[in-house]
Amino acid sequence: MQINSPAFKENARIALHDVNLQKALGNLKAGFPTKRAAAVARMPEFEQLRDEGTALKNHILENLDIYLEQFEENVVKNGGHVHWCRTSKDACKTILDICKEVDAKTVTKGKSMVSEEINLNDYLEKNGVEPIETDLGEYILQLRGDHPSHIIAPAIHLNLEDVSDIFHEKHHRPKSSDPAVLMQEAREMLRQKFASADVGITGANFFVAETGSTIIVTNEGNGDLTQTLPKTHIVVTSIEKVVPTLEDMTLFLRLLARSATGQEFTVYNTLSTGPRRAGDQDGPENFHVVLVDNGRSEMVGSEFQEMLRCIRCSACMNHCPVYGAVGGHSYGWVYPGPMGSVLTPKMIGIENAGLLPNASTFCGKCESVCPVRIPLPKLMRHWREDEFSRHLSPKAVRWGLGGWAFFAKRPALYRILSSSSNLFLRLAAGKKGRIKKLPLASGWTNWRDMPAPSGKTFMQQYKSGKKD
C-alpha cells in the first residue's frame, strides 16, 4: 500500500466532507462498540482475562527469542518450513520464490494485514502471479483497486451501492440492493478460484510454540478453503504473534472475539500444523511459515515495546472519536486509528507519519478498551516528544511552543501578557461573550465561535483569594 500518511490533514478534511463515507462510518459507530459492551457484560471475568492477557504478553516478549526458536523447531518436526524475513522486501521475495517453486499462476489469499504491510499483492502481480483476495471485504476492495480502511472490517468505508456498482461492472450481473444477493454472487465467483489456485496464503492471528501450529480466526470460512484446497499453504505472519501453548492461545481467543466484533467466539478458529499427513485425503502438501520482522525486533526493549502486545482486535479504532470522524484511509497507511498512530511511525518513519500521533484527542477511550491494556495515549505522547526533539514538528508548532516557553520562563512578563490578552479577548467578544473571528485561530473560528474568557485570570483570582 502506498504511503499517504503525510497528507493526514488533507485526507481528514476531505473525509469530513464525504457524505458517503460519513454514512458508512455511522454503521461502525452504531455497531462494534455496542456489541463489544454486550459481550463484555456477559463475561464477568473479562477484566481478569485482560490482566492475564497483558501479563502473558509481557512474559512472551521477555522470552521472545526462545519461543520463536521453539516454534520453528516444531514446525520443522511436523514437516513444514519457517522463513525469517527482516524486511518487507525479504518477505515478498521469499513468498514469490515459494510460488515459483510450485510454478504458481494464481494464489488465493485470506485476509492478512501483514500482507498489506509488505505490499504483497503488488509484488506478486508484478512478477506474474495473480493474487485473489477471498475475504468478502477484501474481494470487494480488490475489484475496486482499493485498500482496507479497517483491520477487521476492511470495506467499512463503503456503502451498499458501492458494492452493487462494482459487482455489476465486474460480474456483469444485474445490480442488487440486497446484501444477501451480493454475498451469494461473490460466493459463486470465488468457488472455482478456491479450487484451482496453486497456492493459498493466509495470515495468522497467533502461532503456538508448543505445537508449531498457526491459527486463523474468521467468520466466513474463506481462510479455511484458502489453506486447504491448494497444494501449498503459506502463512505470513509477524514475530510478536507467538504464544507458548494452546491454553495460552485460548486466553487470547476469549479476549479477541469479544473485543473485536462482540461475538462470544468467532465462527471458525482453525489451527494448521504442517502439511498433509500420510493417510490424509486432502490438505496442502507444502506448509511454509513466513515470519516477518519489519522493525518489530527493534521495538523490543524500546519505549514502544508495549505496542508488541497488540492482538489486532480493532477495539481501539472502533472506539476512537478521531477514527470515527475521518475513517481509516485518512491515516494513509495499513494500520489506522490509535494502534496505527503508534505503529505506523515505527514502520514508515516518524518523518512520514508524525501527524498521526498528533491527531489524538487523548480522550483515553482506546486504552480503556484495549484487551491487553496497551497505554496507547502514552505511546503517542512518546512520538510527539520524539518528533519535537528531532525538530520534525511543523514550524508553527515549534514557534508557538518556543514563544510560550519564552514567556513561561519569565513569570512577570507572562502575567502581563495573560491579563492583557484576557482583556483583549473580552473586548473582541463584545457583549455576547463570543468571538466570531480570531487571527491565528481561524481553524477554530471558521467553524464555531470562540468563547471569550469570562472572568479574571487565574493569577488575578489567586491573588485576590489570598488577600481574603
Residues 334-353 that bind ligand SF4 (CB under 6 A): 339
d(CA 62, CA 51): 17
Q: Contact with another protein (CB under 8 A): which of 4, 58, 78, 418? A: 78
d(CA 360, CA 374): 15
Which residues fall within 8 angstroms of residue 179, CB to CB, at 6 or more apart? Answer: 160, 163
Q: Which is nearer to ligand SF4, 83 or 150 (CB)?
A: 150
The one segment of 186-194, 202-210, 305-313, 394-402 that binds ligand SF4 by CB under 6 A: 305-313
User: Contact letters (x/-) for another protein, 384-413, by CB under 8 A?
Assistant: ------------------------------
Q: Which is nearer to ligand SF4, 29 or 81 (CB)?
A: 29
Bridge partner list, 235? 202, 289
The answer to whether 37 contacts another protein (rule: CB under 8 A) is no
Whose CA is closest to 112, among 183, 175, 205, 47? 205
- Checking DSSP bridges between strand 242-243 and strand 434-435, what pairing results, if any? unpaired
Q: Which is nearer to ligand SF4, 339 or 347 (CB)?
A: 339
d(CA 433, CA 426): 7
The residue written with cell numbers 458501492 in the block is 162
Q: Could you tell me how far CA 430 lies from the centroid of its own chain?
A: 47
Nearest distance in Å: CB 46, ligand SF4: 14
Helix (H) or strand (E) holding 332: none
Whose CA is closest to 85, among 214, 212, 235, 244? 235
Q: Which is nearer to ligand SF4, 95 or 372 (CB)?
A: 372
The answer to whether 316 contacts ligand SF4 (rule: CB under 6 A) is yes
Helix (H, G, I), strand (E, B) or coil at 15: helix
| Sites for another protein among residues 230-269 (CB under 8 A) | 239, 244-248, 250-251, 253-254, 261, 264-269
For residue 445, count other CB atoms closer than 10 A to its CB. 16
User: Contact letters (x/-) for ligand SF4, 245-284, by CB under 6 A?
Assistant: --------------x-------------------------
Number of amino acids touching another protein (CB under 8 A): 102
Whose CA is closest to 67, among 307, 249, 301, 269? 249
Nearest distance in Å: CB 61, another protein: 8
The answer to whether 20 contacts another protein (rule: CB under 8 A) is no
| Sites for ligand SF4 among residues 365-384 (CB under 6 A) | 369-372, 374
| Sites for another protein among residues 175-204 (CB under 8 A) | 179-180, 182-184, 187, 190-192, 194-195
| DSSP class of 116 | H
Q: Which amino acid is at 59?
A: H
Q: Contact with ligand SF4 (CB under 6 A): which of 197, 313, 355, 429? A: 313
Binding site for ligand SF4 (CB under 6 A): 259, 310-316, 339, 369-372, 374
